[in-house]
Amino acid sequence: MTWGPLTAPADVGHGRRRSTGHCVRGLVGGRVWRSALDSDESSSFTPAWSTAGGWRPCLLHSDVVYEWRNEFDNAEVNRLHAEGFEHRLLDIDWRTQLDDHSLGWVSARRYGELVGFVNVAWDGGVHAFVLDTVVARSARRAGIGAELVARVARGAGAAGCEWLHVDFEDDLRGFYFDACGFQGTNAGLIQL
């Protein structure tokens, strides 16, 4: 994929900012930014125009843009969640729920469309918990889910967490253990 110069969308800077939080790909003066959340040299952040607040670094992974704690629309997360977890469309106020209870979240957008999302809750100390990892059917089997979890792990680590927990159904064992690097441990659960 080739990257070239980028100009801001025409509606930005004229008092009509959209609040979807996605980034438009492109290089600015050939300068590549590194993020504190990036611990390896294989990934880089590139300045891109974000409709949520001007130029800022966004991870570029193929044709997918990943963002930590970005702006999003409740309706788009509700649609993705309903598709991914195969339930009826609900009207959940994700913004309030995440602001009140989460350390952060990562979204994945392909050409502006939300194709992946994961939430990370925490105990306010050293434990973080992966919740609601979801990727659109049309975007599965491309590494997006594993990248979402990797970004959550880096974000939680940067926030001072020492442990990242996840629970999952048996059919996701290969994803979480093999693709994401989780290790098996004893755990317990009580249905309330």
| Domain range list for the chain | 23-179
CATH number of 23-179: 3.40.630.30
pLDDT in tens, 68-79: 999 999 999 999
CB 104 within 8 A of CB 97: no
Distance CA 117, CA 98 (A): 12
Does this model's pTM top 0.85? My answer is: no
Confidence of residue 162 (pLDDT cuts 50, 70, 90): very high
In whole angstroms, how far apart are CA 127 and each of 27, 69, 132, 139, 192? 36, 18, 17, 30, 22
CB 106 within 8 A of CB 148: yes
Q: Which residues 6+ apart lie within 8 Å of 78 measured at CB?
A: 89, 90, 91, 92, 94
Quote the mean pLDDT of the chain.
76
